[in-house]
Amino acid sequence: MRRSYQTAKLARHSRKPLELLLVPMIDIFTVLVTFLLMTAVFSRTVILQLNLPPPQTEFKEPPPGLQLEVMVRKDLLQVADRNTGPLAVIANTASGYNYEALTEYLKRVKAKFPEKTDASVLLEADTPYDTLVQVMDRVRVFEVGQGMNTVQAELFPDISIGDAPPADAGAPAAAPAAGAPPAAGSGAGGRP
């Protein structure tokens, strides 16, 4: 009897091998993969081609004509020609950057230089990503109403991105009338 008591005690305290249940894990992964595939279909991913400047070892003379730059500053947007200087200064509105005035001014520049397709967007160091996207969208295309539909028309689709040069500390910022873009003849050299 003593022997059977010891075997019963050992049987109670001995560990059974653990079973790994794979079916619940497979169910969880199936639901997870299905969810991820369904949400991936509805998320729209847009990739824009960026023209980053190539490394140059020798100096090349800039080509004649307009070298359009849109500088995003903390308190204003500035449209400039790299060769001649500032063309327009668009002050912020109470709600933020005046993207509509930027679009209107760029439409006038495009009317004057219809073959021009490239522009540079220059940003200050702490510019939010959303601001970059908004400015790039406004430089790239604008919307035109055709009947009941709106169509996107091309402005300057070949966009390069860079760092904005430091603002002149001594020069006062010229501010146009609230909500209105600068006149077409204003700016350096009488450009758009």
Q: What is the pLDDT of residues 115-144, one digit of tens each?
A: 889 999 999 988 999 999 999 999 999 888
Is 190 part of any domain? Answer: no
Predicted local distance difference test score (pLDDT) of residue 172: 43
148: in domain:
yes
| 135 part of a folded domain | yes
CATH of the domain at 74: 3.30.420
State the pLDDT at residue 190.
Answer: 44
- Give domain status of residue 129, yes or no: yes
Helix (H, G, I), strand (E, B) or coil at 185: coil
Full domain range(s) for residue 106? 68-166
178-191 pLDDT, tens digit per residue, is 344 434 444 444 44
Q: Residue 1's pLDDT is what?
A: 53
Residue 176 has pLDDT above 80, yes or no: no
Count helices and strands (H / E) in the chain.
Answer: 4, 7
The pLDDT assigned to 16 comes to: 72
| Percent of the chain whose predicted confidence (pLDDT) is above 70 | 70
pLDDT in the model for residue 121 = 94
For the chain, how many structural domains are there in total?
1
Give tens-digit pLDDT for 39-92: 776 666 666 666 666 665 555 555 578 889 999 998 899 999 888 888 889 999
- CA dihedral sign of residues 39, 40, 42, 48: positive
175 in any annotated domain: no
